[in-house]
Amino acid sequence: MKKIKLISHPLVQHYLSVMRDKKTPQAEFKESLDRISYILAAESFSSLKLVNKSVNTPFKKIEGKKINETIVLLPILRAGLGLTKGFTDLYPEIITSHIGIYRDEKSLKPVQYYFRFPKIQNKKDATVIILDPMIATGGSVIFTIEYLLNMGIRKIKVVSLLCAPEGIEAIEKRFGKNEKKYIEITSCSLDEKLNEKGYIIPGLGDAGDRIFGT
């Protein structure tokens, strides 16, 4: 696994601070997350493959570029949906898949209840971007990565808003040397720790509840 990449963009830090504030209302919380998602999307798309394409400008014909890669967005329901806007707005051609996982409150282990993925002929050449705003114990992300690797996916990007050291360490320990080379993690902050209930400290509370007002 490549070293986790932390996005230190001033706008990310600004809007992340807005989201951390427990007094921030739902609409402003969601709006701040949408804005951060554009920056995370731009970073995630920065290594996409391009091919040449002829373009006729108003003055002459030139050799332009176009994206030549199958990209699948995979938000982990439900909170992962909150990060999709920047990705789908910047690249509407992206394919959006879904995986539903909830964390058992007693064992803190992930439980899958839903999965839909597109039919792709060559899975090894596809890039899958997992969206999970909060990497806490890492259980949901590990479960999803395992699922994708077993399917034959070999290009996996994990994008989060916040992560805990325990979650990153769990991901690091779970995957061997050969598997790690397929995985990249991008986040906006590596927070202090998890509390006894498995929440990220200082964190921002339950991302799903704050996004959807539940």
Can you give the pLDDT of all 214 residues of the chain as single tens digits? 557 899 999 999 999 999 999 999 999 999 999 999 999 999 999 999 999 999 999 999 999 999 999 999 999 998 999 999 999 999 999 999 999 988 777 776 778 899 999 988 888 889 999 999 999 999 899 999 999 999 999 999 999 999 999 999 999 999 988 888 899 999 999 999 999 988 999 999 988 889 998 8
Residue 28's domain comprises: 5-50+65-212
Instruction: Give per-residue pLDDT as tens, 150-198.
Output: 999 999 999 999 999 999 999 999 998 888 889 999 999 999 999 998 8
Asked whether residue 117 is domain-assigned, the answer is yes
| Number of Cβ within a 10 Å radius of residue 104 | 10
Whole-angstrom distance, CA of residue 124 vs CA of residue 105: 35
Which residues pair with residue 76 across a beta bridge?
99
Q: Is residue 191 part of a domain?
A: yes
Cα–Cα distance for residue pair 148/3, rounded to 1 Å? 20
Cβ atoms 210, 33 nearer than 8 A: no
* Residue 57 in domain: no
Tally of domains within the chain: 1
State how far the Cα of 45 lies from the Cα of 70, in Å rounded to an integer: 12
Query: Residue 58 domain-assigned?
Result: no
- The answer to whether position 145 is within a domain reads yes
* Residue 59 forms part of a structural domain: no
The two counts, helices (H) then strands (E), for the chain are 7, 14
Q: With respect to residue 98, please indicate whether it lies within any of the assigned structural domains.
A: yes
Find the CATH number of the domain harbouring 112.
3.40.50.2020
